[in-house]
């Protein structure tokens, strides 16, 4: 034990006077290195009586820990001293600008969503968010799509629970129409419902298995198809500027009559390209007058009330505005793409 105490005192006394990395390394080798004085003590354990070995070994381990901690502390002190001396010796130009910290960016789809909220907010629409996990009843049946309806083939659905009331990841934001109508009844409605939707799609430049959607809904006593067309035309003007748009008849089970709205392709300027399927036009939304069955399911009497609804994808609008040719870029998390926004 006297040898341990003497070694500890000598080692720490020498360490206090060291302010040089080379001498510090020599001290490490001499005391705590593989062939140093501390490890030499462990070789003496066998020569001790059995009753003394445990106490000696414990104290030797404690000594090794103390010296290792002291070594690391002195190593840090030497680095700090060298830094201070360098700062005092070298000129410091305080006029140099600081390094600007790297900041995150808003996802391009969310940028478009915010712009859409602003446009519709100025038109008097309120923003609602509804659940992403829905039942088959709310996602389809309340929207005039019974189990046997062939239109279900248009929505490749992720079912997540096979119960009496099947549970699924919503394929569109349209179930939000029912929830908003039931929450707002019997008042007029002007709402946009947004959120993520999911479909079991073959992924390509135009299709993804997840995407944002914005649903528009207006319910009142004297709403006409002209109101729908005027609202969407004004939206397109504010979003894309003075760019040609077109409407033509379409079919959706939850609207009647129904229409599709296209915008002239920005990438090819109407000449035809792979993104617009060589038509010169890119679909941005579908809509129509709310079907009487849907109005009734939402709590409104279709003999007294009417309304229009539409749905659009922010990613597709972002592609159109910025000339993006592949929808898969949005969820690939490639910084080379995201940092451009």
Structure tokens at 84: 């201070």
Ordered per-residue pLDDT tens for the chain, 341 residues: 777 788 888 888 888 888 888 888 888 888 888 888 877 877 777 777 777 777 777 878 888 888 889 889 999 999 998 888 888 887 777 787 888 888 888 999 999 999 999 999 999 999 999 999 999 999 999 999 998 888 777 778 898 877 667 899 999 999 999 999 999 999 999 999 999 999 988 888 777 889 999 999 999 999 999 999 999 999 999 998 888 899 999 999 999 999 999 988 877 877 888 767 788 888 889 999 999 999 999 999 999 999 999 999 899 888 888 888 888 999 888 989 988 88
Per-residue buried b or exposed e for 46-82, using 16+ beta carbons within 10 Å of the residue's own CB? eeeeeeeeeebeeebeebbeebeebbeebeeebeeee
319-to-22, 263, 266, 269 alpha-carbon distances in Å: 61, 12, 9, 14
The pLDDT assigned to 164 comes to: 67
Instruction: Beginning with the edge strand found earlier in the chain, give each strand of the sheet holding 210-220 in spatial order.
Output: 126-129, 189-198, 210-220, 306-312, 281-290, 255-264, 245-252
Q: Are 214 and 335 in contact (CB under 8 A)?
A: no
């Amino acid at each position: 034990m006297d040898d341990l105490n003497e070694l500890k005192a000598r080692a720490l006394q020498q360490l206090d006077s060291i302010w040089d990395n080379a001498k510090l390394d020599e001290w490490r080798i001499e005391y705590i290195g593989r062939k140093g004085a501390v490890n030499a003590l462990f070789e003496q354990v066998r020569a001790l009586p059995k009753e003394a070995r445990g106490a000696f070994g414990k104290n030797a381990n404690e000594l090794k820990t103390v010296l290792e901690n002291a070594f690391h502390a002195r190593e840090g002190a030497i680095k700090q001293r060298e830094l201070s001396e360098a700062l005092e010796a070298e000129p410091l130009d305080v006029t140099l600008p600081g390094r600007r910290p790297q900041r995150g960016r808003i996802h391009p789809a969310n940028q478009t969503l915010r712009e859409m909220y602003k446009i519709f907010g100025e038109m008097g629409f309120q923003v609602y968010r509804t659940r992403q996990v829905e039942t088959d009843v709310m996602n389809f049946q309340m929207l005039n799509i019974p189990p046997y309806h062939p239109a279900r083939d248009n929505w490749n659905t992720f079912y997540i629970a096979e119960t009496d009331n099947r549970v699924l990841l919503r394929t569109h934001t349209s179930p939000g129409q029912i929830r908003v109508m039931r929450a707002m009844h019997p008042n007029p409605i002007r709402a946009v419902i947004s959120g993520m939707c999911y479909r079991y799609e073959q992924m390509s430049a135009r299709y993804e298995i997840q995407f944002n959607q914005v649903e528009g809904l207006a319910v009142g006593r004297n709403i006409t198809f002209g109101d729908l067309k005027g609202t969407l035309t004004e939206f397109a003007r504010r979003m894309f500027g003075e760019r040609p748009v077109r409407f033509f008849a379409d079919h959706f089970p939850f609207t009647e009559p129904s229409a599709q709205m296209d915008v002239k392709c920005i990438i090819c300027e109407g000449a035809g390209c792979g993104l617009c399927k060589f038509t010169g036009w890119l679909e941005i939304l579908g809509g129509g007058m709310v079907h009487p069955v849907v109005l009734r399911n939402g709590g409104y009497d279709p003999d007294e009330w009417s309304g229009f609804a539409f749905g659009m994808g922010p990613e597709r609008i972002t592609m159109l505005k910025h000339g993006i040719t592949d929808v898969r870029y949005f969820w690939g998390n490639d910084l080379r793409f995201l940092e451009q926004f």
